[in-house]
Structure 1
């Protein structure tokens, strides 16, 4: 006779710990994947920010062993410094003009590349030409434009040949023109990002909206103002706030082209803070300046996050 063995089903007491372990493992798995990124963020971002904030409330940090608590004295010193006020003014002009120009140029070129009047080959050629400034690094852009803007450079040669100017102009050495020249270079190097983003937004607008506007008798300007702009508004706002944040932190271009000169005419908050720390070795005051810049940037970041949530 063949004996049949009946397996006893596992009891509830055996299954409960197993289910509990699996449940905890499933809950902890995402944190395990995120842990390397969290560690990097804490080590490279959170810890340095906390250290800089603590330095800003103390005096004689880094250069001396015995630092003393100074309260808000470093912040008062920075806010009363005429160079800081000049840097704040220059930064405001720099980021505002750059953002507006990026928006206008980006939107204009994006609409041209999205126009049905141009053939596919023509659009491809223009896309390559317009994106070229975005392919260069900031260091390369700074070196190229310093050579072009040199008193004996190509730009002055062309201007003197066309009898627009009589002698070579020292564009970066003149306090009256240096800030505007640096702003122009920043606009030239940054507009392709706006152009690509707005072009993607334009291509995502349904054609039925323009057809409905044509049926209602709308002219091209009315279509642009009542169809294109409302559809692009989320992209425009997001890009504008991001551009303000990025441009306010621009350092390499300013430092490599003018170093903040001449006569502080191109001094920005970033270069001002850098000079305090590594030229004058005033690390406490530099930390206070860095915290002020961080707070100003956080205000812009707040509006960006708020706009994204509303979107």
Structure 2
């Protein structure tokens, strides 16, 4: 009797393929940079390279206007730091940003608390929100044109003040050396407070009512509730907004340039307008680069504190 054996159709056992772990790990680590590469290229081209070029210009003389520039060391920085116009611009910038930031916080908090109160109805709050947010909706060019007309000697501001008996004759607010800086600061305050109002209003709406109820049970009056409940709860928002406003206001250029151009007699000259004039009016690109680097360093100090505050939060 012949026995037949069925052929073994079982597939041969294959040894498991060991993955290339180093290559896989490297690919996994580099893949996020592949997605970020377009943004990184844009940042390098539009930010890093120009900053490096400006820093290099600040250490050379006769840049851009002449083909062969020479190394000047710190001479451009010495020229800028000893220039009376630069020192005046630094002083004006300090006054401009300090007064603007303080006024933004006070007005923003006052209007935010008014819009957060329970004494006003929903329709009334909506109307006030539209009115208070209007300055933030206008562009800088529109704001400058509006206020140049309002502050003209024959403008609405002088007419109202004369009607109330506060002025005997029209004042040219933007051409008077004693009033121009304060007029420009007032316009900047008017155009910037809505952003603070919105941010602080969001912070107020995030404060639990239980804290106010507990303070009322303990016998705290409205002023004590504001000082011991509202302000401590808003402290992170207030500090962050103040540092941000210092950075933004220190870089304000368009509004001042379109209102006064840094005049009269340089009383509204700030660091941004001084740098612009050095580069495009006097064609001193080397000293303009040095001034720009100084402004960059001052801004980086403020940015450092802002980032540090955000990390603490």
Measured against the shorter chain, the TM-score band is over 0.9
Contiguous gaps of at least 5 residues in structure 1: none
Question: CA separation of 1:25/1:216 partners in 2, compared to 1, >3 Å: closer, same or farther?
Answer: same
d(CA) in 1 for partners of 2:90 and 2:292? 13
Report how far residue 11 of structure 1 moved. 2.9
Contiguous gaps of at least 5 residues in structure 2: none
Question: CA separation of 1:29/1:262 partners in 2, compared to 1, >3 Å: closer, same or farther?
Answer: same
Write out per-residue CA displacement over residues 152-211 of structure 1, whole angstroms, 9 at most, x where no aligned residue: 112222223333222221010100000000000000000001000000000111111111
Question: CA separation of 1:9/1:254 partners in 2, compared to 1, >3 Å: closer, same or farther?
Answer: farther
Question: CA separation of 1:24/1:166 partners in 2, compared to 1, >3 Å: closer, same or farther?
Answer: same
d(CA) in 1 for partners of 2:165 and 2:240? 44
Write out per-residue CA displacement over residues 107-159 of structure 1, whole angstroms, 9 at most, x where no aligned residue: 00001111011111111110111000000011110111001111111222222
SS of 1:16's equivalent in the other structure is coil
Of 205-214 and 232-241, deviating more is 205-214
Structure 2 counterparts to residues 1-311 of structure 1, below 5 A:
6-7=10-11, 11-12=15-16, 14-17=17-20, 22-311=24-313
Structure showing greater radius of gyration is: 2
SS of 1:97's equivalent in the other structure is helix
d(CA) in 1 for partners of 2:303 and 2:289? 20
Question: CA separation of 1:150/1:15 partners in 2, compared to 1, >3 Å: closer, same or farther?
Answer: same
SS of 2:191's equivalent in the other structure is helix
Of 202-211 and 238-247, deviating more is 202-211
Q: How many residue pairs get matched?
A: 309
Moved over 2 A (4+): 1-12, 19-29, 157-164
Report how far residue 293 of structure 1 moved. 0.5
Write out per-residue CA displacement over residues 65-109 of structure 1, whole angstroms, 9 at most, x where no aligned residue: 111111100000001000001000000000000000000000000
d(CA) in 2 for partners of 1:290 and 1:2? 89
Cα RMSD over matched residues? 1.6
